[in-house]
Structure 1
Amino acid sequence: MITETLSSPGIESRYFMFRAFLKWSALAALVGMSLYLILALYAQREFVFAMLFLVLTASAVMVFFNRKLYAHRYIFPAIAGMGLFVIFPLMYTIGIGFTNYSASNLLSFGQVQENLLSRTYQSEAVRYDYELYKTNAGYIVHLKGKHQNLTSAPMELEAGETTAPVLPLSGQPRGEALGIRDIIQLRELLSQVTLITEDGRELSQASLRSFAAIHPQFSQHDNGSLTDNQTGTTYFPDHETGFYRSADGETLSPGWTVNIGWDNYLKVVSDPTIRGPFFQIFVWTLSFAVATVIFTLALGLLLANLLQWDQIRGKGFYRTMLILPYAVPAFISILVFKGLFNQNFGEINLVLEGLFGLRPDWFSDPALARTMILIVNTWLGYPYMMLLCMGLLQAIPRDLYEASAMDGAGPVSNLFNITLPLIIKPLMPLLIASFAFNFNNFVLIALLTGGAPDIIGASTPAGTTDLLVSYTYRIAFQDSGQNFGLAAAIATAIFLVVGALSLINLKLSKIKV
């Protein structure tokens, strides 16, 4: 009876109508929120991000509202996420590499004009000492000038800008002037007071004891140039460098972002103070990534072979202990090693000094610093390789080793003739992934050495232990100029290098991509 009631045409149609109503309401709410976000970004002049969300919203509407694209709606979230978090940041970084975007060139041309035209200065020629009186009608400011005294109308000092006219007064206001302690307490409110004279001049608080006239710092002309009203210097907009520049070459800050073409990329290969450190860091980065893969694979494969040895008892215990470095968070292990390698108090130097009388400068000598980094990274990476090799070794038929033993082959011969040929092909994609990860291993360098010791003569922050990724970070966020454009150009170069090397390795290993 209940089944017949639920399956009746009227109830079923109302169910589908209610379901469709919920579906379309949810979609309408999401589209409305997206449009609001787009308009908010556009109002904030974030045109690139507004366009990005407009494209994503339009694509979502087209996919979810078009019956012909029904099958694509299940994969659309993944594609949208890849576009939002992978493709867009990559394209945005590449775009920044072609601009002068930096700490001094963050704004647009219109924003720079607004910033400069909003600046004011206080006239030293029109300056009055003042006294503040509190009356029943409100506060009164009494200005004492060289030629005349002025007194404001009574006013209430409240949060927000306050204006009051001032008129000449020959005498003294009634009452007792407030002391300096009271003025200090009212300083924030007094700073928002503007006193207007009969001839239209505006006076504001210049110090605890004086008011002065306010004048605009710059005046704009029809040709777009700005004149400094204090110095009389005229500045013209230079859209090639992104600064207002005078005839003498003096510039105004801030500047605006302009397209400079390939200048950032050419600077890497043409400027000796950047080219030398860049190629030195590039060679070290490549060597570090390759050496890390080789060392971690060699140690991991050795330990995996030992754990496969039938005569070893307690394999579970040894396996657990050897995997522990992989279980401990990397930043903890790195900081522990940083203490162990400390030149004065580290346990490693204490042992070396006690046995051999040596106290190496691990953080001051470039060669020793790089050796230390390889040691620490090998310790962090070998458990991963060991786990991979243990699984692959178990897939190798034991008959091959038995036949090899009958032929008189030893462990070394088995390694190069049986083990490596059989595991290297399935290992190759993982080795390439390890190479790419270590090529950009920022955390290790940032926590262990910070890139030190520094490269002498470099015009940008650069160290002998810097990888390209940490070198880029230091240019973008630690350099005084914060040259984001140059950092983006180097980041683009890193992407191309890693992608090209990975593709070459995949092709050489004959893996289909």
Structure 2
Amino acid sequence: MQSVQGAGLLETAKESPKLNYRKWLKWSLLGMIGTVNGYATVLMYAQGEIPFALLTVILTALALYIFGSNKTYEHRYIYPGIAGMLVFVIFPLIYTVGLAFTNYSANNQLSIERAQSVLQQRTFLSGSSYGFDLYKVDNGHQLIIKADGGLLASDVFDLSNPPSDVAMKLHSVGAVKGQKEIIKTIIANRSNLNKVELAMPSGEEIRMSGLRKFAAEMPLFTLQQDGESLYNNRTQQLYKPNMEIGFYQPVDADGKFIDKPISPGFVVGVGGKNFERVMTDDGIKEPFFGIFIWTVVFAFLAVSLTLAVGMVLACIVQWEPLKGSGIYRVLLILPYAVPSFISILIFKGLFNQSFGEINMLLEGVFGIKPSWFSDPIMARVMVVIVNTWLGFPYMMILCMGLLKSIPDDLYEASAIDGAGPIQNFFTITLPMLAKPLTPLLIASFAFNFNNFVMIQLLTSGGPNMVGTSEPAGYTDLLVSYTYRIAFEGGGGQDFGLAGAIATIIFLLVGGMALLNLKFTKTALEQD
């Protein structure tokens, strides 16, 4: 009987499921991540950061789905790449395109609710001002107000922690007791004195308005019942939000906007006005198209010259009869090993018009001193020269590796036919390098199309163009032009306009990349 019962208990124990610690740990971790990210999403949404809240929701949902389901096991290894692409590529792109359709700028950064709150916090002096003195007494400090009817004294309070929730009532005094504090003490404790609110015998409340003055203050703006309009208590003027420009502006009796708007502004959608400005505003259109043409020319020259110099040098250092080729390789690779920003700053000094070694040499030999930074043509020539110096080692390294892949039999057969080095270069070397170099040349073109660092460090886009609505220079590329509009705009940092130009740049670069890929594919198929 006992053996039968023991066998039954053993079977029951075998049938009872065991606790899967790995599964429990996985779901606990996923639950904790979901909870933390959910809380962060709520905080971002409450602060008005809706795009970032949405991005957090998408990334969290993908993580929970991919790591929680066994059907998506293989996707766990590519999730970091997907998340990185969403965070650093797709989201900034969508966010930038979204800004292009708004008036987002240095003057228009807040929501309309936040702009209302800032305006309602402003105050103005609504009554008479009164002189005051600060006295140190036995148990603390006391304020003495100089009114027309005599002296008014506050209650004794702690200067390091003054009452800020209620107004202290003033009472008349005939004589002042205590030691009068010097102005240095008032300056040192000004932040605490600003918290003090005093009530005059007439009921008027006053606050500190200067180092020697207390005055009555009241809110400058009062929010009306419609939840949008603001009433100016000093001028008795009604202000309403102008949704076309993103500012509060005075209105007349008929509700029409008059006079100048007030800051701060708020963000509103403006449709395609930023794109329209690029196409119609002569102060933007003319420099934009001029800079676009220069950007294309610069990128083409950068690729062509660096490739030409790099390929020729690669062929020379790979030439077997050349002695000491290893030393030459090291010396020619040095410009690539030195950080580019150091080389650019050194060249900036070398090309200095007054003290640069290049102009000193040119003046001594040819008697000329080019204006590298003030003449538009010479500035562009300088930019191309410096960029060629920085870029040829990369092309040389690529060509050195690709030259090793060309069979020696081709050159031996060519030598039998009596071909020389130059003929070999154009009939064997160049055609054999064209195919593997094509994708790299396209990537180099795209890099130089957006080569912001070199332009910013060397010329900062200068020399500047005259008569433009936004800052623009003759050596500006589209990317540096966009940067200057976003952060150096004369009328305020215009991020909306910069976003529109960045969107146009994205479309142009994307279109050129597709055309290059199409032509490359066609050329490869023909070969």
TM-score, normalised on structure 1?
Answer: 0.93
Task: Identify the match of residue 108 of structure 2 among 105, 108, 127.
Answer: 105
Distance 1:415 1:479 in 2: 50
Name the amino acid aligned to 2:248: Y
- Picking from 175, 195, 202, the partner of 1:192 is 195
Distance 2:95 2:312 in 1: 44
Q: Quick one: distance in 2 between partners of 1:392 and 1:372?
A: 30
3-state DSSP of counterpart to 1:106 = strand
- The answer for the alignment partner of 2:10 in structure 1 is none
Q: Of 164, 174, 177, which aligns to 1:174?
A: 177
Are 1:57 and 2:60 an aligned pair? yes
Cα distance in 2 between the residues matched to 1:76 and 1:164: 60
Partner of 2:20, secondary structure, is helix
1:27 aligns with 2:30: yes
- Could you say which residue in structure 2 is the equivalent of 1:139? 141
Match of 1:338 in 2: 348
Identify which of 405, 420, 423 aligns with 1:410: 420
Q: Deviations over 1:310-362 (max 9, x none)?
A: 21011111111111111110001111111111111111111111111111111
The CA deviation string for residues 372-413 of structure 1, in whole angstroms up to 9 with x for no partner, is 111110011001111111111221222223333343433333
How many residue pairs get aligned? The number is: 501
Please state how far the C-alpha of 1:490 moved relative to its aligned partner: 0.9
Which residue number in structure 2 is paired with residue 222 of structure 1?
A: 225
The 5 A counterparts of 1:420-435 are 420-435=430-445
In the alignment, which of 291, 294, 309 is matched to residue 304 of structure 2? 294
Q: Which residue of 2 aligns with 1:496?
A: 507
Quick one: which of 117, 137, 140 aligns to 1:114?
117
In structure 1, how many angstroms separate the alpha carbons of the residues matched to 2:18 and 2:358?
Answer: 74
Give the match for residue 257 of structure 1: 267
Per-residue deviation, 1:198: 4.7
Q: Mapping of 1:201-216 within 5 angstroms?
A: 201-216=204-219
* Alignment-mate amino acid for residue 380 of structure 1: L
2:104 counterpart of 1:93: no
> Is 1:78 matched with 2:89?
no
Matched, 1:314 2:318: no
Q: Percentage identity across aligned positions?
A: 52
**Counterparts of 1:368 and 1:99 in 2: how far apart (Å)?**
38
Quick check: 1:240 aligned with 2:244? Answer: yes
Shift, 1:200, TM fit? 4.4
Say whether residues 1:40 and 2:43 are aligned partners: yes
1:180 and 1:370 map into 2 onto residues whose CA distance is: 60
Contact 2:157 2:163 (C-alpha < 8 Å) held by counterparts: no
Residues in 2 aligned to 1:472 and 1:14: alpha-carbon distance in whole angstroms = 64
Is the Cα–Cα contact under 8 Å of residues 140 and 155 in structure 1 kept in the other structure?
yes
Distance 1:367 1:151 in 2: 75
Q: Which amino acid aligns with 2:125?
A: Q
User: What do residues 52-82 of structure 1 show as CA deviations (whole Å, max 9, x unaligned)?
Assistant: 1011111211122122222222222211111
> Unaligned stretches of 5+ in structure 1?
1-9
Residues 460 and 475 in structure 1, CA contact (< 8 A), matched pair in contact too: yes
Q: What is the distance in 2 between the residues matched to 1:46 and 1:160? A: 37
> Structure 1 residues 159, 78: closer, same or farther in 2, change over 3 A?
farther
Matched, 1:325 2:335: yes
Q: Is the 8 A contact 1:148 1:168 kept in 2?
A: no
Could you list the per-position Cα deviations for residues 260-284 of structure 1 after superposition, in whole angstroms to 9, with x for gaps in the alignment? 1111111111000000111111111
Aligned equivalents of 2:258 and 2:38: distance in 1? 48
Aligned with 2:110: secondary structure?
Answer: coil
RMSD over aligned Cα atoms:
2.1
Structure 1 stretch 398-407 or stretch 384-393: which is displaced more? 398-407
1:8-39 deviation per Cα after TM superposition (whole angstroms, max 9, x unaligned): xx99x999733333333332332232223222
Deviation at 1:160, TM superposition (A): 6.7
Residues 132-191 of structure 1: per-residue CA shift (max 9 Å, x gap) = 222224322121123454321222223476344223415233334333333233323212
User: Is 443-452 or 414-423 further displaced after alignment?
Assistant: 414-423
The residue number in structure 2 matching 1:382 is: 392
For residue 510 of structure 1, what is the aligned residue in structure 2? 521
Q: Equivalences for 1:463-478 in 2 at 5 Å?
A: 463-478=473-488
Alignment correspondent of 1:372: 382
For 1:130 and 1:81, the matched residues in 2 are separated by 62
Aligned residue in 2 for 1:266 = 276
| Bigger Cα displacement from structure 2, 14-23 vs 447-456 | 14-23
Aligned match for 1:401, one of 386, 411, 418: 411
How big is each residue's C-alpha offset from its partner over 1:415-455, in whole Å with a ceiling of 9 and x where there is no partner? 33222222111111100100000111111011111111000
Residue 249 of structure 1: how far off its partner (Å): 3.1
Report the counterpart of residue 70 of structure 2 in structure 1.
Answer: 67
Partner of 2:289: 279
User: Contact (CA 8 Å) 1:455, 1:462: kept in 2 or not?
Assistant: yes
Q: Which of 153, 156, 162 lines up with 1:154 in the alignment?
A: 156
The separation in 1 between residues aligned to 2:285 and 2:93, in whole angstroms, is: 24
Contact in 2 for aligned 1:349/1:359 (Cα 8 Å):
yes
Do the aligned residues in 2 keep the contact of 1:130 with 1:142 (CA within 8 Å)? yes
CA distance 1:239–1:492, change in 2 (3 Å) = same
User: C-alpha displacement at 1:470, in angstroms?
Assistant: 0.8
Instruction: Decide which moves more: 340-349 or 169-178.
Output: 169-178
Q: Partner of 2:4 in structure 1?
A: none
Query: What do the CA deviations read for 1:236-279 (whole angstroms, capped 9, x no partner)?
Result: 21111111112323101011101111111111110000001111
**1:492 & 1:90 partners in 2: Cα distance?**
8
* C-alpha contact (below 8 Å) 2:299/2:449 kept by paired residues: yes
Contact 2:108/2:264, CA 8 A, preserved across alignment: yes
CA separation of 1:176/1:391 partners in 2, compared to 1, >3 Å: closer, same or farther?
Answer: closer
Task: Give the conservation status (yes or no) of the 8 Å contact 1:165–1:198.
Answer: no
8 Å contact from structure 1 (residues 152, 164) kept in 2: no
- SS of the aligned residue for 2:132 comes to strand
Matched with 1:437 is 447
Instruction: Provide the rounded CA distance (Å) in 2 between the counterparts of 1:361 and 1:66.
Output: 66
More displaced 10-residue stretch of structure 1: 328-337 or 405-414: 405-414
- Residue type at the aligned position of 1:317: I
Kept after mapping to 2: 8 A contact 1:102/1:483 = yes
Structure 1 pair 268/193, CA: closer, same or farther in 2 (3 Å)?
A: same
Partner amino acid, structure 2, of 1:507 = K
Amino acid corresponding to residue 17 of structure 1 in structure 2: N
The verdict on how the C-alpha distance between 1:160 and 1:262 changes in structure 2, with shifts beyond 3 A counting, is farther
User: 2:108 aligns to what SS in structure 1?
Assistant: coil
Asked if 1 retains the 8 angstrom alpha-carbon contact of 2:137 and 2:179, the reply is no
Alignment match, 2:6: none
